[in-house]
Chain A
Amino acid sequence: MKRVAAYRAPYPGTQPNHLHPPYASSIKRAPTKPQVRIPYTLSEVTGPSFAPGIVAPKASDLTRQHSGEPLGERIIVSGRVLDENSRPLANTLVEIWQANAAGRYLHEVDQHKAPLDPNFTGCGQAVTDSEGRYRFVTIRPGEYPWRNHHNAWRPAHIHFSLFGPAFATRLVTQMYFPGDPLIPFDPIFNCTADEKARNRLISVFDWETTMPEHALGYRFDLILRGREATPMEE
């Protein structure tokens, strides 16, 4: 039996602490006791996998899930999923969800007084290709107010959820848009201490994927954790 190879620890400051007081919801929810360091076992280096057929091809086009087209600016969001060792992660599930162009989520808890769009649900899925690429067509989400502090507004963002090859590689994050004036004031964006790591959450405007007469392209690459060196045979 091979000894399992660990996944790398993150570089200091590149992942958020659990408690980030400017984000008010973390105060009563962040664990207070130190986490217990454990070795990697078969339980953490394995993880769920999904047949590519679980995702319908149209699931990656959020503008074609209803009889009409959603309101707002059509965009293309694409990128690659790699691990920290620069290896593309093929056949990995990418899930996204977002507000509509008016900044309203199709969710009963969202009471923001902005209209719902009957032609927009705001959820999509894709499976990466052999080079780790994914591509979504959607509309640019609107900014919206929240109650974290006085006059608090979330910058426009799209939620991303990825599995990768193991329980250890699971990632949930958010993608932002370049030039959004709300970003420097957002306590959620700012929860990561390392400025470069934070800024990698901002997508890049991309001529290459921009389609003439159709939609602007934004590129957003996602990096999942990579393995330490290959394990020795026992």
Chain B
Amino acid sequence: MSLQATTSQTVGPYFKIGLQWLNRDNLVGEGVSGERFTIQGRVLDGDGVPVPDAILEIWQANAHGKYDHPEDTQDKPLEPGFKGYGRVPVTAEGLFRLATIKPGPVPGPDGKEQAPHLVVSVFLRGVLRRLVTRMYFPDDARNASDPILSLVEPARRSTLIATKAAGSPGALQWNVVLQGPGETVFFDLGL
């Protein structure tokens, strides 16, 4: 008889007290290679209103496509200045902003390569268990053959791909839409 995983509960409105000590809105340390990006966006509720009390967590590979984790046994280099972990709350005005690099491709199911992507957890008041999604990069030809994007109906794939924002060349825009038209694709990982 195995144990059962503890049931999830909402992060509630006051998570800042417990989580802000580990906020990371810049993943790029000293001497890190890769193309720099800033990602900016909002988390929008069913009325299209930006929520002021959400927090996103990011996990990604480095520019070589290597995760800083013992289970990644690929023969690719790690970089001491890059851990791949981000934690960004939205501001009272509902905006989040993250500085990172574009990860290299990592293997997917059946040895098929995945397009560069971030995996993202979204926590907020009113959401009882975390939402899991991904962010892909615009104008990357590998998106067309990505094994995970291919599982999403074509009309909804754009919710997972950031768009170029005005301003600096590395500025990206990506919103998380909780409900309604343009609802972001969330993945079922069982939790």
Contact = CB atoms under 8 A, between A and B. Distances in A.
B185 interface: yes
Nearest to A19: B128
Interface of A: 1-2, 4, 7-11, 14-18, 20, 23, 25-33, 35-50, 54, 82-86, 95-97, 99, 105-107, 109-110, 121-125, 159, 161, 166-168, 170-174, 188-189, 191-192, 194, 197-198, 200-201, 222-226, 234
Contact of B106 (A33, A41, A167, A223): A41
Contacts of B4: 10-11, 14, 84, 197, 200, 223
Interface stretch (B17-25, B94-102, B164-172): B17-25
A122 B20 CA distance: 12
Contact of B7 (A48, A50, A201): A201
Interface residues of B, number: 74
| Residue from A16, A31, A122 having most chain B Cβ neighbours under 10 A | A31
A69 to B, nearest CB: 19
B7 A30 contact: no
Interface in B138-191: 147-148, 151-152, 156, 178-180, 183-191
Contacts of A1: 73-74, 107, 111
A224 B5 contact: yes
Contacts of A167: 59, 119, 121
Nearest to A124: B18
Contacts of A223: 3-6
A122 B17 contact: yes
A167 B106 CA distance: 15
Main secondary structure of the interface of A (DSSP, over half): loop
Contacts, number: 248
Contacts of B131: 18, 31
A38 B187 contact: yes
Contact of B188 (A38, A42, A171): A38
Nearest to B57: A170
Contacts of A45: 71
B18 A97 contact: yes
B123 interface: yes
Contacts of B130: 170, 172
Given A31-B131, A38-B189, A43-B119, A171 B5 contact: yes
A97 to B, nearest CB: 3
B30 interface: no
A81 B154 CA distance: 40
Interface string B6-18: 1111111111111
Closest 3 CB pairs of A and B: A97-B18, A25-B126, A46-B69
Given A10-B5, A105-B14, A28 B45 contact: yes
A168 to B, nearest CB: 6
Contacts of A47: 59, 69
A37 B188 contact: yes
Nearest to B156: A33
A24 to B, nearest CB: 8
